[in-house]
Amino acid sequence: MNNWISELKELNIGKIETSVSLKKYTTYKIGGKASCIVYPKNTTSLIKLLKFARRKNIKYKMLGNGSNLIFSDNDYDGILIKLNEFDNIEIYGRKIKVGAGYSLMKLSRVAQKNALTGLEFAAGIPGTIGGAIFMNAGAYKSDMGYIVQTVKVLTPDYKVVEFENKELGFHYRTSFLKKHKDFICLEAVLRLEKGDKTKIAEVMKNRLKRRVESQPLNYPSAGSVFRNPKDMFAGELIEKAGLKGKKIGGAMISDKHANFIVNTGNASSEDVKKLITLAQETVKEKYNVDLLLEQEYVNWE
């Protein structure tokens, strides 16, 4: 065990898991081992943890549901931080105040039960609120940028400040937080509209049905691999390039939806990365289109 882990435990900042297989914490079910995962109890504990990591020069990363990350097969010699304890929720009128660690899918169901519309797009997105705001998660021509009113953020100098929507730089699958990773989402206020419970439930049901029919949910994956180029669909380009069903090791470009890479069993991170590179190079060669990765590489340096 790293010497600093025993020191970390003495800080009494929350639950700590050591020598953790990242296969349990990523939706791809790939990756090496992490030295530790820490679950801070509150903002004070989070600040204490960050100060410790920076003082000791230990690398760290925020980890939501691991639904958009490609960890390497190497061990992660650092601290992964999960904000599961940041799961408060308050509903007042058309607004929901919710912690960064709350499940986005669960929140979409809470909104429906409270006759609030605007979160239907999130019914099938397996992320946390913090992760969804970080990458501006979306579907069905909507995203977090349309519904976030304010976000409470921890700054690099440990101040808690509130950002308005216009300050968060929401664009297609990106945000201010994605470009400034030292700023950490703690809590958000979402502004929804009043709607009809039954109609909202029907929309969610239909979209989940479409998701099941069009996406390879029977295998581990991390959702869409690439952003859609302007006026095009990444999956269509990959399919036309003849790569649908292409396998490298235990990873495969899905034969159901070509913008998904799936783990068919014991895929390595390297297998996934090779398929990503192959898709990018082939589509560039055939159609002169650059496929931009929607997912994030972690621990490949």
Q: What domains sit in the chain, N to C, each tagged with a CATH number? A: 3-81 (3.30.43.10), 89-201 (3.30.465.10), 216-298 (3.90.78.10)
Average pLDDT rounded to a whole number, residues 71-88: 97
120, 187, 239, 294: which one is catalytic?
A: 294
Mean pLDDT in the chain?
96
Average pLDDT rounded to a whole number, residues 271-293: 98
Nearest C-alpha neighbor of 169 from the set 145, 150, 141: 145
Quick one: pLDDT at residue 2? 76
| Amino acid at site 171 | H
294 is catalytic: yes
Quick one: pLDDT at residue 301? 85
Residues making up the chain, counted from first to last: 301
Please determine, for residue 246, whether its predicted confidence score (pLDDT) is greater than 80: yes
Average pLDDT rounded to a whole number, residues 255-279: 97
Quick one: pLDDT at residue 3? 86
Q: pLDDT, tens digit, for every residue of 113-134?
A: 999 999 999 998 999 999 999 9
Average pLDDT rounded to a whole number, residues 269-287: 98
pTM: 0.94
Quick one: pLDDT at residue 55? 97
Please, which contacts does 12-18 make with residues 24 or more away whose CB atoms are closer than 8 Å? 13/38, 13/40, 13/41, 13/45, 13/46, 13/48, 13/49, 14/38, 14/39, 14/40, 14/41, 14/45, 14/85, 15/39
72, 108, 173, 175: which one is catalytic?
A: 173
> How are beta strands 14-21 and 33-40 bridged, if at all?
antiparallel
pLDDT band at 1 (very low <50, low <70, confident <90, very high): low
Average pLDDT rounded to a whole number, residues 89-105: 97
Query: Token digits for 218?
Result: 């029977």
Average pLDDT rounded to a whole number, residues 82-94: 97
94 is catalytic: no
**Other CB atoms within 10 Å distance of the CB of residue 31:** 26
Judge whether 188 and 133 are in contact, CB under 8 Å. yes
Average pLDDT rounded to a whole number, residues 98-127: 96
55 is catalytic: no
Query: Token digits for 9?
Result: 């435990």
108, 221, 224, 254: which one is catalytic?
A: 224
Average pLDDT rounded to a whole number, residues 81-104: 98
Please state, for a pLDDT cut of 90, what percent of the chain lies above it: 96
Backbone phi and psi for residue 71, each to the nearest 5 degrees, phi listed first: -75, 145
Average pLDDT rounded to a whole number, residues 66-85: 97
H helical segments located in the chain: 3-10, 43-55, 104-113, 129-135, 176-179, 197-214, 234-240, 269-287
Average pLDDT rounded to a whole number, residues 144-157: 98
